[in-house]
Chains A and B, each alone.
Chain A
Amino acid sequence: MAHDLAKIQEIINRSPQSPGSLIAVLQDIQREFHYLPCEALEATASSLNVPLSKVFSVSTFYNAFSLNPRGERIIRICQGTACHIKGADLIQEQLVAGLGLKPGETSPDMKYTLEVVNCLGVCAMAPVVVVNDKIHGGVRCDKALKLVKKD
C-alpha cells in the first residue's frame, strides 16, 4: 500500500529530530494511519538518525503499534481482571464467531479489526468493549455482536 510520503514526513517533523522522539513519532504515525506503514518506518529511521532495526524493534515491542493495516472499525475487548471475572471470554466467543475473526485479525473487506487489550482502566463498568475509542460498559454477551456492528 503506497502512502503519502509528504504526509509521513510532515508527521515526523512535528517532533524534535532526535532518537529520543522515536516512540512519540511512531505514535503520531499510528494515529494517522492506524498502523505503521513500511515507508513510515524507513522515513522515521533516516529522519531521527536511528537504525531501521531499532525502529522495527520498538514497533514490535509495544502493543500499541501494528505493522498490519487495521480495519475501519477497531473493536477492542478488554480482558482485564474485572472484565475477565465478569465474562469477557463469552463476549470474545460471540465476536470471534460472529465476525469470523480471531483477535488480531482484520476482515478482508477492511471493515473490522478485532483486538484484545489487557485493561482499559474502566473496571467499574466491566465487562467493557471499545469500538473506535467509544467505551461500552456492562456489555452482555448476547448483545455484543449487535453493539459492534451498530452504526
Chain B
Amino acid sequence: MRIDSIEKLDKWRKECRRTFEAPKRKVIVCLGEGCLANGSEEVFNEFKKLVAEKKIPDVTVESVAKTGCHGFCALGPLVIIEPDGTFYTKVSKGDVAKIVDKTLIGHEIIDKLLYTDAKTAEKVANYEKIPFYARQQRISLRHCGTIDPHKITDYIAVGGYAALGKALTTMTPQQVIDEITKSGLRGRGGAGFPTGKKWATCAKAPADVHYVICNGDEGDPGAFSDRTTMGSDPHSVLEGMIICAYAVGSHQGYIYVREEYPLAVVTLQKAIDEAKQHGLLGEHILGTELSFDIKISRGGGAFVCGESSALMRSVAGEVGEPRAKYIRSVIKGLHDQPTVLNNVETYATVPAIVERGADWFAGIGTKKSTGTKVFSLAGKIKNTGLVEVPMGITLREIIFDIGGGVPDGRKFKAVQTGGPSGGCLPEGKIDLPVDFDSLTEAGSMMGSGGMVIMDDRTCMVEVARYFLSFLVSESCGKCVPCREGLYQLRELCAKVCDGEATEEDLALMERLAKTIKVGSLCGLGQSGPNPFLSTLLYFRDEYLAHIRDKKCPGGVCRKLITYAITDACTGCMACISVCPVHAITGERKKKHVLDKNICDRCGSCYAVCKFDAIEIS
C-alpha cells in the first residue's frame, strides 16, 4: 500500500495500532545483539512452539513478539510479559516451559528468574522499578526494545513517521532548521557541533546536489549504542534523515555502516525497502514534492573512516584518508557537493524534536548540552548495557546508581570516556556533570558515549599503551605527526610499562604528545595523545611508580610483577591446565608449584583460580 497523504498515513496508523495492541497479553523476547549471543533466538522459537501447543485463551502465537535491544545486556536473554511488565532475566530455552505453565497459564511469578536488586538484595518483578531503567529518560532509544525492528507496521503503530508528516505538511524547510536550532541539539557523534547550524550552512550552500549522510561507523571501542539503534529502531534513523533531506534540499542519502555490524546492514536494508514500498522514501514522499533515496554504504573496517572527510572518500569508493578541512564538508563534502553528516543517534533524536517541539527538548539536560545522551556501560561494572540519561547527570549516578558499581568487591579506579580520542577520569572527578563541555574541560570527551569502567586491577599506563597501539594500527599514515608520533609515543609508553623508562623519557613523551596534537591533520591524530595525557594528568603517581620504583600498582605490567601460589591452593589443577608455558606443576589435592623462571606472568592462573591462591607481587 502506498501512503501518499497524511490522511492515508493516519488511517494506516489506526490499522497498525489495532494489530500491535490486539494481544491482551504479550511475551516480549529481546533479540538484541547481546541477548542473541546468549541464545535468545532459541528462547523465542521455544515460546512460539509451546504457546501454539498449549492453546492458552489469552495468549496466542501472535502474542509472542520479538524486539530489538532492551539495553540491559548483562542479564540477557530478557523476556518481558506484558501488560504486567514482569521482567525475566537470563532466560534459557529450558526455562520457557516453566514460564508458559506458571506465568502464562497460572499467572504466577517465577522468583528465580527475576532481577535481584544489588543494594537491597530484593527481587524486583516489574522492569520499570529496576534502578537501571527507572533512572533513564529515553528519547533516542525510545522504541528500542518495544517494537520489532523488522516490521514497519510496529513503528507506525507507535507513532512513526508522524514527525515527517508534520514537517512536510505544516513546516517549511527553514522552519525545520529553526526548530532544530532552537532545540539546542548538538551532534551525538562526539564533537558536539550544533546540528541546526550544520543544516543551515548546508541548506544555504549553492549547489544543484546536496547529500545527507548518516555516520554509522561506530569505531570507538567500548561504544555500541549506534549499533543498537540501527538494529533495533532503524526507521527512526531513516525518518530523521528524510526530515534533514527536506530541510537542506537533498535527494540522495547514504548510511555508512561499519563492516563489523552485518546485522545492522540487514535490518536497515529491510527498513529502507519497506519505507520505499509504502511511499515514505523514494519519489514524492507522502505525496509531496520531496523525493529522497537512501543507500547503504558498507565500511571496510577502518577506524579513521569515522572522520567526516575520510568517511566521504570511503563512500565514494576511495581509500579513507582524511583531507585538510579549510573548506568544511557542509560546503564541499561527498563528490565535492554540500553534505550534512550526522551520527545515528542525532538522526534518531530528530523526529522526537520535530514532533514534540524544540522547547520540550531544550527543557531537558543542561543549558549548553540539551536533551539526553546514550551511554554504553562496559568493563568492570555490574550492569553492563545501554543507558539514556539527561545531560548534566553526574558520573556517579551513571556508574553507581544505574550501573550498580564495580563487581567482585573491587574498588573503582577510573572511567574511560570517548574512546581512543577521550580520556580516563579518576574517582576525584566522579561528581562531574556529564555534558559536552565539562568532559572536554576535564581532559576527556563525550565521544560516541562509550564508558569503560576500570577497577583497581587495571594499570593506567598499560591502558594508555593499549589505546596508543590501537591508534598506531588505525592511523591512515598520511601525515607524519600521527603516523610517526603516535608510534614513538607508544614505544615510550611500552618502555614505562617495562620499567625501563626514565623521568626524561616522561618529559619527552609530554612534549611529543603536544606536537602530535598541534601537527596532525585530522581528529584521529589531534586527539590521539589524549588517553596518555589524561592518564598522566590524573595518575602521574602510577607512571612514577613504574619509573622510580619499578613497580606496577595495578599488578598488570609483566616485567614488574611476579606470581606465586599461596597456601590457599587446594590443588584443583585449574591453573596447571591453563598455563600456556607450563610453568605450574603439581598433583590433585596437593599445593601446586609455580616455577618463576618459566612463568611469563600472563595472569591466566590468576584469572581461573577460584580460591584466591595466586598472589601478585
Interface residues of A (CB under 8 A from B): 19-24, 26-27, 57-58, 61-65, 79-87, 89-90, 93-94, 96-98, 117-126, 128, 133, 135-137, 140-142
Contacts and interface: CB of A to CB of B under 8 A. Distances in A.
Contacts of B380: 85-86
B384 to A, nearest CB: 4
B452 A62 contact: no
Contacts of A89: 602
B36 interface: yes
A21 B317 contact: yes
B416 A63 contact: no
B300 A120 contact: no
A126 B317 CA distance: 33
B602 A90 contact: yes
A137 B222 contact: no
Given A24-B298, A63-B302, A124-B224, A141 B578 contact: yes
Contacts of B318: 22, 58
A22 B317 contact: yes
In this complex, the member of A19, A27, A63, A119 whose beta carbon has the largest number of chain B beta carbons within 10 angstroms is A119
A85 B222 CA distance: 10
A138 to B, nearest CB: 9
A137 B300 contact: no
A144 B14 CA distance: 51
A61 B419 contact: no
A8 to B, nearest CB: 18
Interface stretch (B19-27, B128-136, B258-266, B502-510): B258-266
Interface in B561-617: 574, 577-578, 580-581, 602-604, 607-608
Interface string B248-281: 0000000000011110000000000000000000
A119 B221 contact: yes
B580 A94 contact: yes
A130 to B, nearest CB: 9
A96 B320 CA distance: 31
A120 B314 CA distance: 20
B301 interface: yes
Given A64-B301, A85-B379, A119-B221, 13 more contacts: A27-B259, A63-B300, A63-B301, A79-B221, A81-B416, A81-B467, A82-B221, A87-B607, A97-B580, A98-B580, A118-B303, A124-B384, A137-B34
A125 B604 contact: no
- Chain B contact residues, majority secondary structure: mixed
Interface string B487-515: 00000000000000000000000000000
B166 to A, nearest CB: 33
A20 B316 contact: yes
A146 to B, nearest CB: 11
A140 B607 CA distance: 8
B320 A137 contact: no
**Among A21, A61, A124: residue with most chain B CB under 10 A:** A124
Given A20-B317, A142-B577, A123 B298 contact: no
Contacts of A81: 221-222, 378-379, 416, 419, 450, 452, 466-467
Contacts of A24: 297-298, 317
B493 to A, nearest CB: 15
A19 B303 CA distance: 23
Q: Which of B297, B454, B467, B580 has the most CB of A within 10 A?
A: B580
Contacts of A63: 259, 300-302
17 contacts: A19-B317, A58-B300, A61-B302, A80-B222, A81-B419, A82-B221, A82-B378, A90-B602, A119-B260, A121-B260, A125-B38, A128-B37, A133-B262, A137-B34, A137-B38, A141-B578, A141-B604
B37 A125 contact: yes
B572 to A, nearest CB: 12
Given A81-B221, A124-B74, A135-B33, A27 B298 contact: yes
Contact of A58 (B219, B224, B319, B473): B319
Contacts of B604: 90, 93-94, 141-142
Interface residues on B, range: 35 or more
A84 B452 CA distance: 10
Interface in B293-336: 297-303, 314, 316-320
B73 interface: yes
A119 B300 contact: no
A118 B38 contact: no
Contact of B222 (A21, A90, A123): A123
Contacts of A57: 319
A134 to B, nearest CB: 8
Contacts of A123: 221-224, 376, 378-379, 384, 450, 452
Contacts of A20: 316-317
A4 B532 CA distance: 50
A23 B317 contact: yes
B246 to A, nearest CB: 25
A133 B262 CA distance: 9
Nearest to B231: A121
B13 interface: no
A80 B463 CA distance: 12
A121 B37 CA distance: 12
Contacts of B577: 142
Nearest to B383: A124
A122 B580 contact: no
A123 B470 CA distance: 16
Given A64-B301, A80-B221, A142 B574 contact: yes
A75 B581 CA distance: 22
A119 B222 contact: yes
Contact of A137 (B37, B224, B303, B452): B37
A117 B260 contact: yes
Nearest to B300: A62
Contacts of B260: 117, 119-121
B458 interface: yes
A121 B218 contact: yes
B578 A142 contact: yes
Contact of B34 (A21, A124, A133): A124
Nearest to A57: B319
A83 B224 CA distance: 13
Contacts of B377: 124
A115 to B, nearest CB: 11
B312 to A, nearest CB: 12
B608 A141 contact: yes
* From B221, B302, B463, B467, residue with most partner A Cβ within 10 Å: B221
Contacts of A80: 221-222
Contacts of A23: 297-298, 300, 314, 317
